[in-house]
């Protein structure tokens, strides 16, 4: 037998395991509670998995999300087509796709007044996400900016207005889609989120996507696309290409903030959005703009 690990290391491991429990990942680790002992009554039984999940933190529940129209009643299962490059699932979640009984409200409650990464220190409000909780189309951005941080809502600043125009150009309204970010708290000075911040926060996004089960995910910018694709390549190398992402179709396009600086790139984005419209069965000749 080796010597006992130092106290601070044991404390860190304990905290990390508690965090995984918050995310209901405990059962996916060796030496954690076996499936049979957890019972199916609680939240967190993963569909198609052998093990349900662990307990969650008790925090006040947020307001219920709005429930506007779904673009695709019946929500047919996406085809299992193959696209390059092969999507790498974030390692933290492995093959976890959905958690039985999980809801956006549950995820928000699990998040609580989160202090899991350093971004909590300067945030004003957590920006969880907004829109149709059953949307066929989800936009994933990088993180909140100043306006979002003040209002607690995603994409409400200048870039957000442009995203709204993009959505309307597709013949939709914001309430038809779901909009969220990789990190839920504003990075200071709008800097790019650090790797560890992304790794800490993105499991919440994975759960959101697992609950919403959109038909199409549009990644806005490098951080969103690199995180979901598990790549370090620049978005310019795969922008506009289709990928499979855990049963959904995923496409990456430029972030609206980039378009504010480079209006000429709007044409590329419109090409990408038209691909999304075709995928969703939206008429190309009846757009609002
Ligand atoms: S960015 Fe995410 S993980 Fe970090 S404090 Fe905010 S909610 Fe928590």
Domains of the chain: 1-56 (no CATH), 62-286 (3.40.470.10)
List pLDDT tens digits, range 89-105: 443 344 445 678 999 99
**How confident is the model over 7-15, as a mean pLDDT?**
72
Report pLDDT for 100: 80
pLDDT tens digits, 249-283: 999 999 999 999 999 999 999 999 999 999 999 99
Torsion-angle region of 48 (φ positive above 0: left; ψ -120 to 50: alpha; else: beta): left
Ligand 1 centroid to residue 258 C-alpha, Å: 24
Report pLDDT for 17.
65
Q: How far apart are CA 279 and CA 289, in angstroms?
A: 19
Q: In this predicted model, what pLDDT tens digit does every residue of 228-249 receive, in sequence order?
A: 999 999 999 999 999 999 999 9
- 144 CA to centre of ligand 1 in angstroms: 11
Q: Which atom of ligand 1 is nearest to the CA of 197?
A: 4
Choose which residue among 20, 23, 116, 154 to substitute to test ligand 1 binding: the one with the highest number of ligand atoms within 8 A of its C-beta.
Answer: 116
Residues 57, 93, 194: CA angle, nearest 5 degrees: 85
Rg (CA), the chain: 19
Q: Name the residue of 109, 126, 223 to mutate for ligand 1: max ligand atoms within 8 A of Cβ.
A: 126
70 CB-contact burial (10 Å; exposed 0-12 / middle 13-18 / buried 19+): middle
- Output the CA 200–ligand 1 centroid distance in Å: 7
- DSSP string computed for 33-63: --HHHH-SSSS-EETT-S-B----------P
Percentage of residues of the chain with pLDDT beyond 70: 67
Ligand 1 mutation target, pool 183, 196, 204, most atoms within 8 A of CB: 183
pLDDT at 80: 35
Cis peptide before 174 (omega within 30 of 0): no
Who lines ligand 1 at CB under 6 A?
111, 114-117, 119-120, 126, 183-185, 197, 200-201
Say whether 105 sits in a helix, a strand or coil. Answer: helix
What is the residue whose two structure tokens read 């690199």?
A: 226
Tell me which of 234 and 85 has the higher pLDDT: 234
pLDDT-derived band at 23 (thresholds 50, 70, 90) equals low
- pTM of the entire predicted model: 0.72
CA of 184 to the centre of ligand 1 (A): 6
pLDDT (mean) for 62-87 = 39
Minimal-distance CA residue to ligand 1 atom 4: 117
C-alpha distance from residue 58 to each of 22, 111, 185, 194, 215 (Å) = 10, 10, 20, 28, 31
Percent of the chain with pLDDT over 90: 63
Outline where DSSP puts E strands in 39-135: 45-46, 99-100, 130-131
Give the residue with greater pLDDT, 23 vs 80: 23
Say which residue the tokens 């903030």 belong to: 257
Cα(126) to ligand 1 centroid in Å equals: 8
Nearest to 27 by CA among 45, 13, 9: 45
Closest ligand 1 atom to 193 CA = 1
Greater pLDDT, 202 or 82: 202
């Amino acid at each position: 037998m080796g010597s006992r690990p130092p106290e601070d290391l044991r404390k860190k491991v304990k905290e990390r395991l508690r965090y995984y429990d918050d995310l209901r990942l405990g059962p996916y680790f060796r030496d954690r509670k076996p499936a049979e002992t957890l019972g199916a009554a609680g939240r967190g039984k993963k569909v198609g998995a052998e093990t349900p999940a662990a307990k969650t933190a008790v925090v006040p529940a947020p307001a219920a999300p709005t429930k506007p129209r779904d673009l695709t009643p019946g929500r047919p299962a996406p085809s299992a087509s193959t696209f390059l490059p092969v999507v790498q699932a974030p390692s933290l979640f492995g093959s976890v796709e959905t958690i039985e009984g999980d809801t956006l409200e549950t995820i928000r409650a699990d998040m609580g007044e989160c202090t899991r990464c350093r971004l909590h220190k300067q945030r004003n409000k957590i920006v969880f996400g907004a829109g149709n909780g059953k949307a066929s189309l989800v936009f994933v951005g990088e993180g909140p900016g100043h306006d979002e941080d003040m209002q607690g809502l995603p994409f409400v600043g200048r870039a957000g207005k442009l995203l709204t125009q993009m959505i309307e150009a597709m013949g939709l309204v914001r309430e038809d889609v779901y909009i969220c970010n990789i990190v839920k708290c504003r990075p200071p000075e709008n800097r790019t989120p650090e790797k560890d911040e992304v790794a800490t926060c993105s499991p919440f996004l994975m759960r959101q996507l697992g609950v919403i089960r959109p038909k199409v995910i549009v990644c806005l910018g490098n951080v969103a696309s690199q995180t979901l694709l598990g790549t370090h390549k620049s978005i310019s190398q795969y922008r506009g290409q289709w990928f499979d992402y855990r049963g959904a179709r995923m496409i990456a396009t430029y972030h609206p903030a980039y378009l504010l600086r480079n209006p000429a790139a709007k044409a590329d984005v419109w090409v990408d959005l038209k691909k999304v419209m075709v995928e969703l069965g939206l008429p190309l000749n009846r757009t609002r703009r």
